[in-house]
Each structure stands twice: as C-alpha cells, then as structure tokens.
Amino acid sequence: MRTDVCVVGGGIAGLAAAARLVAAGLAVTVLEGTDDPGGRARDTRVGGFVLGDGAHLLHTTWPTLRQTISPAELQLGGFAAGVRICSGGGGLSAATEDAGGLSSEERTGALENSLQVHDVVRRVRFGAAPTRPQQTFSALRMPIGTAADKARLSKLLYRLGTTAPERALNGPEHSAADSYAVRGYSAELVDQFLRPYLAALAADEDLAASVRGADWLLRLLVRGRFAVAGAGINALVRELVRRLPNGTIELGVRVHTVRADRVVGGTGEIRARATVVAADPYSAMELLPGLHEPRMRSATTLWHSVDDAQLPFEPDRAPSVLIDAEPGSPIARTAVVSRAAPGLAPPGRALVATTVFGDDGKEPAALDRAVLGRLSHLHGVPQRRWETLDIRHVEHALVTMQSPHNFARPVRLIKGLYVCGDHRDLPNVEGALQSGHRAAKAVLEDLDVRYSPG
C-alpha cells in the first residue's frame, strides 16, 4: 500500500495533523490501534448523562480549539471566572444536613448560614472578569497571604492578563518552587493557593513544574473562563474525522515498525513519503527509541449524580470549578459540569465530575467512598443522596510540566519522520491540536507543498 503520509495514532493530535495534510491535497492514512479514534478524548452516553474517560477542562481563550470547532457546535459551557479554592469542612451544619425538603434557593441560604460554622468548607474566589483582566480578582483584598504577597501577585496577574500567553511560556526556566521562593511569596500563599492550584490543573503538588507553565496556568484565571464541552469531547473528534475522506482511518491496527518511508503493522507494510507518529508518549517511545520520556500521572474521574434541586447555588449563582486545598483530601478538583453545560445531564439531574490524580486504580470502591465523604462537604449535599455513575481510570493520562520543560519540543526528528502529541506542546487538548498542526506544517515544508490554512 502507498500513501503520501502515514499517521500512526488516531488521537486528537494525529487527527489534527491528518486533517491539515488532507486539506493541503495529500493522501493520508491514519492507523489507530483501538476500535475508535480519539485516544484519551472519549466519552459515552449512559442514561442521559455524557461521561468521559477524563473530565477534560477546556478554556474559552484557546485559539486552536476555537479555530478547529465552533463553541456552538462544541456546546462550550463556561464556568464562573477563575476558580474557588476550598479548605476546611470537617462536617456540615445541621441547617445544611437537614435541608432535604428545601428548594434550591432555600438550600443556598442554608449553606450560606452553615459557612458560619467552624467546620464547614471555606471558599475563596480567585478570578477576574474575563473582559476586564486588569481586575486581577481583587488580589489586594483576598484573605490569603501577606500584604506583600497580594501586591506581588496582583502585579504578576496584571502582566499576565494584559500580554500574550507566549510571554509566560518564553520566560526564564525554573521550577515553580524555586521561583516562588525568589519572588518572596509566603508559605501561606503557596500552600493555600499556588500549590493546590497547580495540583488541580497540572498534578503537581510538589511544585516541580516549570514556572513558565505555572504562570501560563495563572493567566487562565484572568483571561476567559474554564469550560466543558456540552456535546462531549467526542464532538471535537467527530469534527476532525469529518474532514477526512472515507477510508482514511484504519482501526485496530497495531504498528511495530516506523521509518521515514514506511510503516509496518498488522495489515502489512505501508510505503509513504512521510511518517507522523502521533501515539501516546509511551507507545511513541517504543516506536522511536531515544525519544524524550515525559513524566506522566494517572487520572481518575469519578462521575456522580444528584438531584439538581438539592445542590445549593454559589452566592453569585454561577457554577464554579472547585479546587480542594484541604490537606489529605483525595480530590484535586470538582465541578457541577451540568450547570455549565446542561446537555451533559438529563433534566432535573446534576452531573458532578471529580478528578483525582495519582491513584493506582486498584480499589475504586474505596476511592469512591473517600471522595463521596469529601464531596458532601464541598457541594453541601449529604453523602446518602449521591449516586455513583461511573469511575474512569486512565493510567497515563497527564503529561506533567516538570522543570526543565520545553513547551514546543521539535516535531521533526529527521526529514520524513515526525512526532506530535501533547507531550511535545502544552499538556492539554489545546497542546495536542497545536502539536498536530506543527507536525503537519513540517511535513508540508519538507514535501514542498504550499498550503495556507484559512
């Protein structure tokens, strides 16, 4: 079999590269080892709920995502600006625990009253209005850190919010821990805000991540909003597949040898003018010995449902991403995703996605019990009223940004042989799309094919 370009891997990065190469007029063959394209971007519909292998937290400012699929088609639903950092919560007050018969508004009042109780969760909002990044979440009035902390952080967030995101990624390279010490942040600010935030977004409770990546994540607090796909993350996969001619993707094909001019797998040998390896990082290393090995963390997404009327509203009535800063809590982040994107749940039911990093996936029932005990405090609903819908564990789910980290790792290995994926770029959906486009651009340059994407 002959083709212009053979793409090994049908995840988001591989599909993005293939779609761009097809648009440039090349013949492309995509080899995917599983029965469906999408890689780690998969979801299924169960009883009216849309459940994914990972609670893919997107962002309204990601340009490549918006260029690939319209927010309307993705049914992109935004959360309140920023996040809420949660701590404390040894138990609920009687007013909240016994409020089963109250309306949502009455439960909101009960929750607000319960916040006066010592052992109830404290929520601190971090975030600015997306259209006014100069209001750096009123950093000078936040109840965490010293006066010097507030002044320094406010200045940093103003700079990050009013400049291009590339500025953060092009800064000096240090670990977040070293950089925070140099910046003079107090232990209180680090432990009650910066560390939980990086743990929730980058699985980095040790602050070993590149401070450039950490600052890029901070920028997401003051520009745009975190969001989820109401149509499911598979809507993005379907859009990329739609751009490929029928027969482009071959499923269930295991590849064991790649060269610049050929790929050998379960269906035999495919001759090509170029080969793009878009497999997951560990599969890519098996095919390409010597490739940079990224540090990865497992992720477990626990999907729960509860009567929507039982959930209290936040004081501003906008759904929030909650980050758990309580020591010993298994939860990195949790959110009522159906309030940001109603299409994810049937009417009257709320869908809550909770992310845990680093669990080995061997005792899901025990993990579920621990998570439910904490969710009852974070969301203000007694544990007995929660229903567990599913627990999805992905062993190698997230590429960490451990310092030193290259956020634009080369995609061209030699002429004719390329590699892409979120391990070559930002470790998220946006990075996967960007790396796929960078690989396609390198292929077109080497094959001397002129193409200007619209």
Q: Which of 106-115, 149-158, 236-245 has the lowest mean pLDDT?
A: 106-115
Pairwise CA distance, residues 210 & 206, whole Å: 11
**Conformation bin of residue 228: beta by default, left when phi > 0, alpha when psi is -120 to 50:** beta
141, 212, 291 from 428: Cα distances, Å: 32, 15, 20
Torsion of CA 339, 343, 346, 350, to 10 degrees: -20
Assess whether pLDDT exceeds 80 at residue 300. yes
Q: What is the CATH number of domain 2-41+232-293+405-446?
A: 3.50.50.60
Burial 327-347 (b: 16+ CB within 10 A, else e): eebbbbbbbbbbbbbbebbee
pLDDT digits 0-9 by tens, 18-46: 999 999 999 999 999 999 999 988 899 99
Q: Which residues of 368-393 are buried (b: 16+ CB within 10 A; e: fewer)?
A: bebbbebbbbbbbbbeeebeebebbb
Nearest to 426 by CA among 96, 61, 149: 61
Q: Is the pLDDT of residue 107 over 70?
A: no
446 vs 140 pLDDT, higher one: 446
Is this prediction's pTM over 0.75? yes
pLDDT one-digit tens code per residue, 383-399: 999 999 999 999 989 99
The structure tokens listed for 218 are 């901070």
CB 5 within 8 A of CB 28: yes
Task: Outline which parts of the chain fall under CATH 3.50.50.60.
Answer: 2-41+232-293+405-446
Cβ proximity of 306 and 352 under 8 Å: yes
Q: Please list, in sequence order, all residues whose beta carbon lies within 8 angstroms of the beta carbon of residue 114, skipping any fewer than 6 positions away.
A: 92, 93, 95, 96, 120, 380
pLDDT range class, residue 161, cuts 50, 70, 90? confident
The residue-averaged pLDDT of 245-271 equals 95
The arithmetic mean of pLDDT across residues 251-268, rounded, is 94
| pLDDT recorded at residue 154 | 85
Strand, coil or helix: what is 153? Answer: helix
Q: Are strands 268-277 and 417-419 parallel, antiparallel or unpaired?
A: parallel
Q: Write out the two tokens for 446.
A: 């080497």
Local structure of 198: helix, strand or coil: helix
Asked if the model's pLDDT at residue 178 lies above 50, the reply is yes
CA dihedral 408, 290, 17, 215 (to 10 degrees): -20
Is residue 69 within 8 Å of residue 241, measured between CB atoms? no
For residue 115, pLDDT over 50 is answered with no
DSSP assignment of 31-78 equals: EESSSSSBTT--EEEETTEEEESS---EETT-HHHHHHS-HHHHTEEE
**Dist CA 159 CA 156 (whole Å):** 5
Provide the token pair at 18: 């293939």
- pLDDT score at 454: 65
Per-residue pLDDT band at 121 (split at 50, 70, 90): confident
* 276 touches 418 (CB < 8 A): yes
Closest CA to 381 of 442, 438, 304, 328: 304
Q: Which residues, 6 or more positions from 390, have their beta carbon under 8 angstroms from its beta carbon?
A: 46, 51, 302, 303
| Mean pLDDT, residues 136-143 | 60
What CATH fold (topology level) applies to the domain 49-228+297-399? Polyamine Oxidase; Chain A, domain 2 (3.90.660)
Give the CA diameter of the chain. Answer: 71
Of 373, 324, 402, 340, the C-alpha closest to 123 is 324
Q: Which residue in 4, 7, 84 sits closest to 255, CA to CA? A: 7
Q: Where residue 56 falls among pLDDT bands split at 50, 70, 90? A: confident
Q: Which residue has the higher pLDDT, 177 or 290?
A: 177
Q: Calculate what percentage of the chain has a pLDDT beyond 90.
A: 73
Q: Which value, in Å, is the radius of gyration of the alpha carbons in the chain?
A: 23
What is the average per-residue pLDDT within 260-287? Answer: 95
Mean pLDDT value of segment 442-451: 95
pLDDT classification of 112: cutoffs 50, 70, 90? very low
What are the tens digits of pLDDT across the range 362-371?
A: 999 999 999 9
pLDDT above 90 for 232: yes
Q: How confident is the model at residue 126 (pLDDT cuts 50, 70, 90)?
A: confident
Residues facing 52 on adjacent strands: 43
Rounded to an integer, what distance in angstroms lies between the CA atom of residue 116 and that of residue 55? 32
Residue 134 has pLDDT above 70, yes or no: no
| Residue 400 per-residue DSSP state | -
Between these two residues, 90 and 170, which has the higher pLDDT value?
170
Residue 401 has pLDDT above 70, yes or no: yes
Element (H, E) at 237: helix 234-242
Residue 144 pLDDT > 80, yes or no? yes
pLDDT for residue 92: 38
10 Å CB burial of residue 46 (0-12, 13-18, 19+) is exposed
With cut-offs at 50, 70 and 90, classify the pLDDT of residue 138.
low
Confidence of residue 123 (pLDDT cuts 50, 70, 90): confident
Q: What is the mean pLDDT of residues 193-221?
A: 95
In the chain, which residues fall in CATH 3.90.660.50? 49-228+297-399
Phi-psi region of 373 (alpha: psi -120 to 50; beta: other; left: phi over 0): alpha
User: Mean pLDDT of all residues in the chain?
Assistant: 89
In whole angstroms, give the CA distance from residue 125 to residue 80.
Answer: 10
Please name the residue that has the structure tokens 């793409």: 7
User: pLDDT tier at 166 (50, 70, 90 boundaries)?
Assistant: confident
